[in-house]
Amino acid sequence: MTVRPPTLREKRRYVLVRIAPAGCIPDPKELYLAVHDAATVLWGDAVASLIHPAVVAVENGCAIVRCRRGMERELAIALSTVTSCGGQRIALRTCATSGTIESLRERVASVHRSRPPSSGGPAECMIDGRLFMVCHCAGQKVDVIEKGFKNTTRFFLTTEDLEDQ
Amino acid sequence: MITDACICPRPRGDSSVRRMALEAHELGFDSLVAIDAPTCEYAGVSVMSGVLVRGAFAQEILPRVKRCKGTDTVVIVEAGDSGFNRAVLAMRGVHVLCGVHLTDRYGFDHVAAKIAADSGIAIDISLAPIIHERGATRQRALDRYLDIVMLQRRFEFPLVLSTHARSVLEMRSVREISALASLVGLDVGDVKQALGNAGRLCSPEPAVRVIQ
């Protein structure tokens, strides 16, 4: 297959999204399916085919999503309706749009640097008489999961909330 | 002041009010209306106490509304049928009518819009059904919101935008809210005004301003 000359290639845009909650690394294929589903359900097949979304990379808690040039707005709206990926609750926060992946990779590094490092907070804590396991602790933010194999709900708290308990 | 007009922290949701305030600060908000949370300030975000009132009849909700009178609590009433909505919109002490997208088409009509404009009660456009629902439910919500926006342009009652987030994962940034609101015909100026309305609900501008 011959490669098309640059003038005949379709123009693309790349959208950088931050994946919440911190520490969640979704499978790129699962993320692609979630983004594609959100775009199709919101805009319908005709517009989704024009958006032509694709997940290019997932790295350092961020993802780079590709779309056709001129469809960035539609993609960004669709991204904000993504609520789960592979059965896990997530949120995709749009950070930047660019014409090249390279510039977004630089941005990924700056987003990664701006995040407070995961600190070694308490391993366990008691809230309302129940035992919780700290699964992520960065800066003032603390994410906990109730101990036990049945309940895997994640709670989003702060260090002050834990001190109050 | 850029305000998310309704969030539901713990115990209704899975995130504490402090964590939601931290997240709101990162997402570009100045203040929040938190249901059943005390008024406070955290991470530079002012948290306003809110109460969500639900009832089948106007008489049923009246005592709860009266209890909040004279406090800085934002009183949000869930919409019902046409008669209920008209009675609530004429009630003193109510600040916001929410859940209009769940009512039938005649639940919020031109008469209710006129009463809302006269009494200065805001109508809430919750982005939760747009974000979380799919298919017919989302289409119905979008249709109802388009109708509300059309009535708002005609009667100029205040609008507020909210996420009804029960988790930090359900909160959206100001930019995302602006993009989502464009689906129901709100431009950037309308969104800015709607996000600013919630902060003005508890301290409305007086009809007459004394200069000297």
Q: ipTM of the predicted structure?
A: 0.89
Q: Is residue B209 part of a domain?
A: no
Tell me the three state secondary structure of residue B181: helix
- What residues contact residue B132 under an 8 Å CB cut-off, 6+ apart? A81, A83, B170
Residue spans of the domains in chain A: they are 9-114, 124-164
State residue B72's pLDDT score: 85
Set of chain B residues whose Cβ sits within 8 Å of the Cβ of A160: 18
Q: Which of A20-24, A85-89, B114-118 has the lowest mean pLDDT?
A: A20-24
| Cβ contact, residue pair B168, A155, below 8 Å | no
Q: How many residues does chain A have?
A: 165
| Residue showing tokens 């919630």 | B198
Contact criterion met (CB < 8 Å) for A20 and B168: yes
Report residue B15's pLDDT band, with 50, 70 and 90 as the boundaries.
very high
Q: List the structure tokens of A56.
A: 């290019």
Quick one: pLDDT band at residue B147, thresholds 50, 70, 90?
Answer: very high
DSSP state of B185: T
Residues B47 and B34 sit within 8 Å (Cβ to Cβ): yes
Residue B211 domain-assigned? Answer: no
Closest-CA distance, A7 to chain B, in angstroms, reads: 32
Considering only the beta carbons, identify the residue of B19, B130, B171 that sits closest to A157. B19
* Alpha helices (runs of H) in chain A, residue ranges in sequence order: 28-51, 72-79, 101-114, 159-164
Residues A107, B191, B109, B113, Cα dihedral to 10°: 160
CATH classification (class only), A9-114: alpha beta
Any chain B CB within 8 A of the CB of A93? Answer: yes
Please give the pLDDT value at position B210: 76
Residue B3 to residues B6, B78, B181, B197, B199: CA-CA distances in angstroms?
9, 19, 15, 8, 6
Largest CA distance in chain B: 57
- Domain residues for the domain of B49 are 3-200
Chain A CB contacts of B19 under 8 Å are 141, 156-158, 161
Interchain CB contact of A118 with B (< 8 Å): no
Provide, as residue numbers in chain A, all residues whose Cβ is less than 8 Å from the Cβ of B170. 83, 91
Closest chain B residue by Cα to residue A115 = B26
Sign of CA dihedral B109, B113, B114, B115: positive
Phi and psi at residue A136, in whole multiples of 5°?
Answer: -155, 135
Q: What are the pLDDT digits (tens) for A41-58?
A: 999 999 999 999 999 999
A50 interface with B at CB cutoff 8 Å: no
Distance from C-alpha of A51 to C-alpha of A45, rounded to nearest angstrom: 10
Q: Is residue B150 domain-resident?
A: yes
Amino acid type, B54: R
The answer to whether A91 contacts B182, with C-beta atoms less than 8 Å apart, is no
**How far apart (Å, rounded) are the C-alpha atoms in residues A118 and B157?**
46
The minimum CA-CA distance between A127 and chain B, rounded to whole Å, is 12
Q: Is position B83 within any domain?
A: yes
DSSP B113: H
State whether residue B89 is helix, strand or coil: helix
Residue contact B173–A94, C-beta within 8 A = yes
Both tokens assigned to A33: 């399916």
Are B21 and B47 within 8 A, CB to CB? yes
Q: Do B168 and A80 touch (CB under 8 A)?
A: no
Give B45→chain A minimum CA distance, Å: 15
Neighbours of B67 (CB within 10 A): 14
The amino acid sitting at B65 is: V
Q: How high is the mean pLDDT of chain B? A: 91
B210 is a domain residue: no
* Domain CATH for B83: 3.20.20.140
- Does the distance separating the beta carbons of B179 and A83 come in below 8 Å? no
- Residue of A76, A77, A156 lying closest to B167 (CB–CB): A156
Sign, Cα dihedral of B134, B138, B140, B142: negative
Which of A76, A93, A141 has the CB atom closest to B22's CB atom? Answer: A141
Q: A41 CB near a chain B CB, below 8 Å? A: yes
Residue B209 reports pLDDT greater than 90: no
Using 50, 70 and 90 to split pLDDT, how confident is the model at A135?
A: confident
CA torsion sign, A102 to B23 to B12 to B88? negative
Question: How many CA atoms does the CB half-sphere of A19 hold within 13 Å?
Answer: 26
How many distinct structural domains can be found in chain B? 1
Compute the average pLDDT of residues B97-106. 90
pLDDT digits (tens, 9 = 90+) for B114-131: 999 999 999 999 999 999
Give which of B207, B195, B167 is closest to B23, Cα–Cα.
B167
d(CA B36, CA A14): 41
Exposure letters B105-130 (e unless 16+ CB within 10 A, then b): eebbeeebbbbbbeebbbbbbbbbbb
Q: Is A140 on the interface with B (CB under 8 A)?
A: yes
Q: Is B205 within a domain?
A: no
